[in-house]
Amino acid sequence: MFPRLQRVVTDTAQIAEKKFLVKSLKLIVNRDFCVNCGTCMLACPNNVIKAGAPWHTTSVALDPDKCSFCGVCQYMCPTGALQLCIDDEPIKNENLVLVQKKALPELIGEQVVCTNKPVGKDGKPVMAKHYMDGHLKYNKDICQTGCRTCTVTCPTKALYFRRGKAWEQGEVLEFDRTKCIYCGGCAFVCPVAAIEVERTAVNHGKEFNEPFWPKIKQRLMDFRSFAKKEHEQHKAL
């Protein structure tokens, strides 16, 4: 029977595939590149990408039955962890139908090196798109400094712990604003919700067609409430 649906999870990738008689659609998550920031979940126009436990890296769940394989998640992913393929041919961002039809605007921001990620198979470093700005808030009173989940997750090493000084107790979490890309990974994976990321801007070009993009942008801007909701849901499990 067609279409045939398949979901495969390996040590390095998660694959959602839908096969028709003459065409194959495939969405791949590179687990080495993913920082579980939740951007794909917010950007997905059909709300079909779900989260597993928010403190586990690469816990997004792809549903090949509900996915429309539009490529929005690929386009918005800060670390390039998602790849849409048609008939096993990787589709570049600029060739996505929604980009060509200007339903999605150009994302404006510099490319930064993910110093907390291993070098790719081609010997090149993993790069991230820094197209979002914001503020990071940290509640040290509820932080469990021993877990280190935020520092392990942060793709650019913007978060790190230092040894506390004489008047400080234990270790202290530091934040380097010059390195942060505000992907939200640290806030999304923190098991005790000690970190909040409040976005102030999603930087993009002015040319786009209504009404598709504004809704996606608004969800990206509402990351703080999104992360809070996810934490509450998993706390109830």
- What number is the average pLDDT over the span 9-15? 88
Q: Look at residue 191 and give its three-state secondary structure.
A: coil
170 has pLDDT over 80? no
Task: Tokens for 21, please give them.
Answer: 């008689």
The model's pLDDT over 81-140, given as tens digits with 9 standing for 90+, comes to 999 999 999 999 999 999 999 999 999 999 999 999 887 777 888 899 999 999 999 998
Do the domain assignments include residue 44?
Answer: yes
**Are residues 185 and 158 in contact, defined by beta-carbon separation less than 8 angstroms?**
no
88 and 40 in a single domain? The answer is: yes
Domain extent, residue 195, equals: 130-236
Strands 4-9 and 13-19: antiparallel
Tally of domains within the chain = 2
Which CATH number belongs to the domain containing residue 216 in this structure?
3.30.70.20
101 and 135 in a single domain? The answer is: no
139 and 85 in a single domain? The answer is: no
Do the domain assignments include residue 172?
Answer: yes
- Element at 6 (helix H, strand E): strand 4-9
Q: Which of 65, 80, 110 is the last residue of a domain?
A: 110
97 and 166 in a single domain? The answer is: no
For residue 63, the model assigns a pLDDT of 86
Do the domain assignments include residue 93?
Answer: yes
Do the domain assignments include residue 123?
Answer: no
pTM, entire model: 0.91
